Amino acid sequence: MKKRNLAVIALAVLLISTAAGCGQADNTQNSTGEISIVSTDNTSKDKNLDDVISEINQDTESQVSEKSEDTTEASKTSVSNGIIDTTNLFSNRDLEQNPDLSDAKSLTVSDGQTLNITEEGTYVISGTASNCTIKVEVDKESKVQLVLNGVNITNESSPAIYVVSADKCFITSQGENSLSVTGSFKADGDTNTDAVIFSKDDIVFNGTGTLTINSSDNGISGKDDIKFTGGTYNITSVNDSIEAKDSISVYNGTFNINSSKDAFHSEDSDDNSKGTLYIADGTFNITVTSDGLQANTAVQIDGGTFDITAREGIESTYIQINGGTVTITATDDGINGSDKSNVYSKPMVEITGGNVTVTVNGNDVDGIDSNGDITISGGTVSVNYPGQPPCDSFDCDGTATYTGGTLIINGTQVDSIPQSDRMGGGMMGGRGGRMGF
């Protein structure tokens, strides 16, 4: 404590000696068509030592309070026996759908300009522009909040929003917003910026508005974590609609997705221990040609309403469904536990609750398939399939265990998981072993 007081006094003396203040931000445009946020007010103010020390102490307490508030966990995401650790997953600020705009700066996008944001803060952005990029490049300890309030950007080859560096960037939607890229993306040096919203650091999406994204490649791409806690997202993309290296976490929101690849994709090609997808709640209307929900390591669903039309509905090494209403129509496996990660000894599909309906129709397809085990202990699981070999309602290479819940196959309730001719020889658990249904 003594050392801290000495440091405070030293800083106070330094502040008094320099007598320098800081002011508000303004927009300046340079000859390269870039707008930068810079400080413009250098007004000096006379303060005595006691006043400065008091202000420093108050500021320190405020920062501690803000930090505590920003890391408070959301109790709604705490689920016992969940495979993904949701402790402190969403902060209070993540969950705030209507941000404090009292100190926000107002900016307007313009044709052919890069809007450079280089200082921490909250920015309310509006306007319509073409070939415009909102570029965030602040230090690794700074947070930036972009409040999109009637933003419409159409680009040919660059992201509409590009987060180069930040501790965290919040993208908050208010009203109707639209971001599009129509042509081939140009790289930024060694960085392949291949999404309408591209971030090298953590990004959080929230708000009460709508964000529409149209992409000739990926919709949203994050090299770390991506979180959604609110808002409506209409995404049409040629490749993945939402992709992240480390994780994707959804607390709530409405997602209308149409993709020629995956809707949600979480994977680090350099580290197969990463790549998770967690969903607490929300509404998901997904039509894609590849996977609806895909994560390298784990997918955990605790709630939400899902209507997925895809080649495969859900794919990961470990898939756990604890709640929600999940409806899948697939041309390949509806739910597929495949060996993608070294985190688990073998793949697993586990259903403990919720209402899960899987309909598959194709050649050599399965309703629920696992290269490891399948466990059903609760909820209602209904599987509809053509009934002709080599198609099956269930297929697993390990042990299939049924200990609770309601199991329906092709409209008929059964008391065990049917064992197909292709299952890997594991003994049937729970309520016995009716063969092939």
Least confidently predicted of 40-54, 89-103, 145-159: 40-54
Grade residue 21 by pLDDT with cuts at 50, 70 and 90.
very low
Q: Who's near 68: CB < 8 A, 6+ residues apart?
A: none
Given a cut of 70, whether residue 172 has pLDDT beyond it is yes
Inform me whether the pLDDT recorded for 184 exceeds 70.
yes
**pLDDT tens, position by position, 414-424:** 999 987 655 54
The Cα 223–Cα 190 span in angstroms is 14
pLDDT at 169 over 60: yes
| pLDDT for 216 beyond 60 | yes
Mean pLDDT of the residues in the chain: 84
| Structure-token match 């501790």, residue found | 167
Q: What is the pTM of this model?
A: 0.82
φ, ψ of residue 80 to 5 degrees: the values are -65, 140
Burial of 147 (0-12, 13-18, 19+ CB in 10 A): buried
Residue 1 binned pLDDT confidence (cut-offs 50, 70, 90): very low
pLDDT tens, position by position, 342-392: 899 999 999 999 999 999 988 888 999 999 999 999 999 999 987 676 778
Report, in angstroms and rounded to the nearest whole number, the Rg of the chain calculated over CA atoms.
25
